């Protein structure tokens, strides 16, 4: 492996500049921020079924599975194929509340504007309102995909509170309602400025979004919540040959057009080596009972593409550490 960092106190930057620039050229494809990040995902028949049911029934999907198995990738795949305008992502934490996904009102910036305006005109109150993931989806003229990630982390009342908004398909924005006006221009989670119309002080959903909750299956959800969602667990096949084929397909989709530092050497030229790495990955998962994620497999294969021996035990210990 190229030792760019050697633990020295001082080093001439000019000597490593080319190395750093070379690293930037060969960023792992799945680590790049791309509009087409859902292009490489290979949806199973069951995943296609649950998405189509959700679209028909206007119900959210509760997507379960181990960390790193590709739950968020399904949302990106649907967004890519349906050209919905980009996944609206809401990361749930232990401190998340319902309003976090609906809108933000910057009261401090509003107060500062009022103080500093004096003779100049005060900005409209809508300039200080930003619709968040779900709010942006409600205001959109077309169906959006909303990914509500790691629902397990929410507090006990959060799922039912959220479903109430989804059932009613509207939510209030008191700061705008108090103006007595129905028409406002606000910002969206996409950074755009849009016109919205309030009815009785509430923003109503124009086109119901496709909502995908993800769960690492670390808790149970209330029955009232479960009866209002469609459920699906993403799992890897039990049969070893089917598992090999599935993992190889995942890798192929990510790297089929990828070139190594040798511009003429492509992924398919080291296909046999990739299959050996997959076999070792399966061995660690099954025989050594180690929980691993598919992106950890991708790390090993990417290193191999760069001419780094992915079978090196010191390297594997770092990139194939168990998740729990």
Write the pLDDT tens digit of every residue in 280-294. Answer: 888 888 877 777 888
Tens of pLDDT, residue by residue over 290-311, are: 778 888 888 888 887 777 777 7
Quick one: pLDDT at residue 266? 64
- The full length of the chain comes to 324
Nearest Cα neighbor of 66 from 318, 244, 293 is: 293
Is residue 281 within 8 A of residue 247, CB to CB? The reply is yes
**Mean residue pLDDT across the chain:** 84
Quick one: pLDDT at residue 147? 96
d(CA 251, CA 261): 18
pTM above the 0.85 mark?
A: no
**CATH architecture of structural domain 45-233:** 3-Layer(aba) Sandwich (3.40)
91 pairs with which residues across the strands?
Answer: 149
Return the half-sphere exposure (C-beta side, CA atoms, 13 A cut-off) of residue 102: 20
Return the half-sphere exposure (C-beta side, CA atoms, 13 A cut-off) of residue 10: 1
B/e letters for 133-170, b = 16+ CB within 10 Å, e = fewer, are bbbbbbbbeebbbbbbbbbbbbeeebbeebbebbeeee
Quick one: pLDDT at residue 267? 65
Residues of the chain with pLDDT under 50: 35
Structure tokens at 227: 């009866």
199 pairs with which residues across the strands?
Answer: 202
Any idea of the CA torsion for 65, 68, 72, 78, to the nearest 10 degrees?
Answer: -90
What sign does the dihedral 225-230-234-239 (CA atoms) show? Answer: positive
Every domain of the chain with CATH number 3.40.50.300 lies at 45-233
Quick one: pLDDT at residue 3? 60
């Amino acid at each position: 492996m190229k030792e760019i960092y050697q633990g020295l106190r001082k080093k001439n930057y000019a000597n490593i500049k080319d190395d750093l620039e070379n690293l930037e050229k060969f960023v792992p494809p799945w680590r790049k921020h791309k509009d087409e990040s859902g292009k490489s995902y290979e949806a199973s028949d069951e995943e296609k079924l649950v998405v189509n049911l959700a679209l028909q029934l206007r119900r959210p999907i509760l997507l379960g599975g181990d960390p790193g198995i590709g739950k968020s990738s399904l949302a990106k795949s649907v967004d890519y194929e349906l050209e919905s305008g980009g996944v609206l992502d809401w990361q749930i934490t232990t401190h998340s509340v319902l309003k976090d996904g609906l809108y933000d009102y910057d009261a401090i910036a509003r107060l500062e504007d009022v103080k500093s305006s004096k003779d100049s005109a005060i900005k409209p109150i809508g300039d200080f309102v930003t619709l968040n993931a779900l709010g942006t989806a409600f205001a959109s003229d077309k169906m959006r995909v909303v990914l509500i990630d790691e629902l397990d982390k929410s507090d006990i009342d959060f799922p039912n509170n959220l479903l109430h908004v989804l059932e009613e398909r509207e939510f209030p924005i008191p700061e705008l309602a108090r103006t007595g006006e129905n028409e406002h221009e606000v910002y969206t989670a996409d950074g755009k400025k849009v016109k919205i119309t309030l009815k009785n002080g509430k923003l109503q959903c124009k086109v119901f979004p496709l909502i995908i909750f993800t769960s690492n299956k670390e808790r149970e959800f209330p029955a009232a919540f479960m009866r209002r969602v469609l459920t699906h667990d993403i799992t890897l096949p039990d049969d070893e040959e089917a598992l090999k084929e599935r993992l190889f397909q995942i890798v192929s989709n990510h790297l089929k057009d990828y070139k190594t530092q040798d511009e003429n050497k492509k992924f398919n030229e080291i296909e046999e080596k990739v299959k050996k790495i997959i076999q070792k990955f399966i061995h660690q998962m099954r025989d050594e009972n180690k929980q691993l994620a598919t992106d950890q497999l991708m790390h090993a294969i990417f290193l191999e593409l760069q001419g780094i021996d992915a079978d090196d035990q010191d390297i594997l210990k770092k990139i194939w550490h168990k998740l729990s």
